[in-house]
Structure 1
């Protein structure tokens, strides 16, 4: 049975494993102190979910905010990359201790997992993370996951924990993700505008849905906004995972949202196999290939991407790197792993296979992006 309503999120027969994401502004106050009373209520809800037979994975922000307060850093520790890394190093200890202590009060054991973008993007490391999560859940542990901001740079970061939550959900074979927000869910326009209405259910993210999102983080503490939540929903829905956005600013936010039946559920749209879901969820392409209409039609029918259909090559990627496939209007069609580096792609772009050997100096590969290494978006 598909998860289509908020009430399905707490039904163990429909949702056996749930990922819960908490942002910095919900967990830490303006002085950099944990919101202890709010957290106690949330952990009580997690305990109830576990008692009901559900596995729970927590994706928690807050390390930078907590560390910045302890170090006395300006701008919440986000004034520079060095400040953010130092704040994260200090704050991660405090964050782990906070979750461990609260969960222990309910007889639950926490486990800390710090991941980088590379851990989710590189296949072997992703599988290692997946194995660890599976074993922790099997042992009845509550994994607490955060991006390893102490070593991540702007170039190699998720940048927000919304998309991380969806990637963790894939790795943990979860059924659903709950993103706690500062609003009730996705609104049909900016929530500050008069007449803004909640969208209770989304059956597939479209350009119209993306247009509803507001890209900023209102707290100044976090790095996400509604746009990042929409991107997280796209990652989840392709992997057969539902995603819900609910208001986290109230006490016991999960039971409150369910009691009021107020939030937004993004219904899973397809069930890609494990590798396809991993490919579809990757977010750090090395470049892009612009293709013609004939190529797009062929890809839609299950074909590989051939050099003859390439109109333009962008970026400086190497063989095996992720590339996105664009149509003539710049819209993303697919993404996958390139069989050639960027320079070779430029050399054979638009050329038929019979011409490629003379250009490359060796027998050409069967495709620029093989269909087994590609996913339609």
Structure 2
């Protein structure tokens, strides 16, 4: 029996309510045990995509699999992940194979594919983010399906997304999408690990990601092939929700996985609840910060009420940053409160921590700015 919540799950991703959709396909689904593409399965997926496109939905695909495919062709052990150099070489070879596969199966459905490779910096730097956004918007408006992946050929261990779940959510922000579907090796979020607990229950709807929901993620991929797990999917859902984007985790194992979801709504859907504008959504979804500012209870309340962060509310500052860099704002217990662009260089910020606004000019020797982090350049998390 299909419940009312599952019907709503499917309806949220209909062309009428979700004109622009991002679909993420993981390595374990796309690549079989022989390290070759599961082409017959992929053809059923692209048939589902074609059906949605004909119904008026614009779709982009975030596709894993390049490293696995490249490692097979280069004869590298460990799936190409034994070292950063092996992963980069595998990605360089595998991206060609991956693009050819997607172009071929979509061509069979009379659809055009375009390859888009991005790095973490492309979506963390504001100007490059806007460039990526414009490119995606143009491709989608032309009826082309962008096939998107992290550019692992040049990414490093430090400067990379590390998983395509978060990449899909960040791409959804840049593309101004309405929904994200993560095709996974598990059919949703459970209240405990279904692999070890046969009585685990699927959670069909998550209206808010709180500590209870966070605790349900174990951070492990059941296949061992992907780089993410349920933890990365929860993080992706946070990014999407902050921009008002719905995100679904569904099983991709069976043929016509998308059609099955659209027919039944079976999976877990995280409701997009954010009201951020485009710029604040970009701030909220940021994955790299140049520094951290820890604040007191009064400042937490002020930020949650739409106020700026003043020096008096800061308890501690860490990191080397310059004015205009992105910083993370934490409460005294280490919980994330906000992200924003700092108004002072690190050295001056340290000098005015905890000081009243009227004292700042005397300390710094110049007219102070109105806030440590201004509300106009801040997204509360």
| Same-fold call, TM cutoff 0.5 | yes
- Farther off after superposition, 4-13 or 326-335: 4-13
Match of 1:116 in 2: 119
Q: Which runs of 5+ in 1 are unaligned?
A: none
Q: Contact 2:10–2:264 (CA<8 Å) still a contact in 1?
A: no
Q: Which residue of 131, 135, 156 maps to 1:132?
A: 135
Q: Contact 1:10–1:49 (CA<8 Å) still a contact in 2?
A: no
Distance between the aligned counterparts of 1:320 and 1:268, measured in 2? Answer: 28
CA separation of 1:31/1:344 partners in 2, compared to 1, >3 Å: closer, same or farther?
farther
TM-score with structure 1 setting the length? 0.97
Q: Contact 1:188–1:196 (CA<8 Å) still a contact in 2?
A: yes
Q: Contact 1:116–1:157 (CA<8 Å) still a contact in 2?
A: yes
**Deviation sequence 1:295-314 (CA, Å, 0-9, x none):** 11111221111111110112
Match of 1:18 in 2: 21
Match of 2:176 in 1: 173
**What SS is found at the alignment partner of 1:86?**
helix
Matched, 1:149 2:160: no
Distance between the aligned counterparts of 2:54 and 2:342, measured in 1? Answer: 46
Match of 1:330 in 2: 334
Distance between the aligned counterparts of 1:261 and 1:174, measured in 2? Answer: 19
Give the Å deviation of 1:10. Answer: 4.8
**What SS is found at the alignment partner of 1:290?**
strand
Matched, 1:314 2:314: no
Give the Å deviation of 1:270. Answer: 2.3
**What SS is found at the alignment partner of 2:373?**
coil
**What SS is found at the alignment partner of 2:340?**
strand
Match of 1:246 in 2: 250
Match of 1:290 in 2: 294
Q: Which residue of 213, 220, 230 maps to 1:226?
A: 230
Distance between the aligned counterparts of 2:121 and 2:321, measured in 1? Answer: 16
**What SS is found at the alignment partner of 2:306?**
coil
Match of 1:92 in 2: 95
Give the Å deviation of 1:46. Answer: 0.7
Q: Contact 2:112–2:145 (CA<8 Å) still a contact in 1?
A: yes
Q: Contact 2:28–2:225 (CA<8 Å) still a contact in 1?
A: yes
Match of 2:51 in 1: 48
Distance between the aligned counterparts of 2:201 and 2:331, measured in 1? Answer: 33
Q: Which residue of 100, 103, 108 maps to 2:106?
A: 103
Match of 1:363 in 2: 367
- Farther off after superposition, 269-278 or 365-374: 269-278
Cα root mean square deviation, aligned = 1.5
Distance between the aligned counterparts of 2:204 and 2:281, measured in 1? Answer: 25
Q: Contact 1:242–1:265 (CA<8 Å) still a contact in 2?
A: yes
Q: State how 1:336-347 maps to structure 2 within 5 Å.
A: 336-347=340-351
**Deviation sequence 1:345-372 (CA, Å, 0-9, x none):** 2111011123222332322211111100
CA separation of 1:84/1:254 partners in 2, compared to 1, >3 Å: closer, same or farther?
same
**What SS is found at the alignment partner of 2:227?**
coil
- Farther off after superposition, 188-197 or 15-24: 188-197
Distance between the aligned counterparts of 2:348 and 2:194, measured in 1? Answer: 48
**Deviation sequence 1:206-256 (CA, Å, 0-9, x none):** 111111112012222211111111111111111111000000111111122
Q: Contact 1:4–1:265 (CA<8 Å) still a contact in 2?
A: no
Distance between the aligned counterparts of 2:364 and 2:59, measured in 1? Answer: 51
Give the Å deviation of 1:99. Answer: 0.4
**Deviation sequence 1:182-229 (CA, Å, 0-9, x none):** 111010111222311000001011111111112012222211111111
**What SS is found at the alignment partner of 2:367?**
coil
Q: Which runs of 5+ in 2 are unaligned?
A: 1-5
**What SS is found at the alignment partner of 2:146?**
strand
Matched, 1:164 2:145: no
**What SS is found at the alignment partner of 2:376?**
helix
Give the Å deviation of 1:4. Answer: 8.1
Distance between the aligned counterparts of 1:49 and 1:116, measured in 2? Answer: 29
CA separation of 1:10/1:233 partners in 2, compared to 1, >3 Å: closer, same or farther?
closer
Which runs of structure 1 show a deviation greater than 3 angstroms over 4 or more consecutive aligned residues? 258-261
TM-score with structure 2 setting the length? 0.96
Q: Contact 2:15–2:56 (CA<8 Å) still a contact in 1?
A: yes
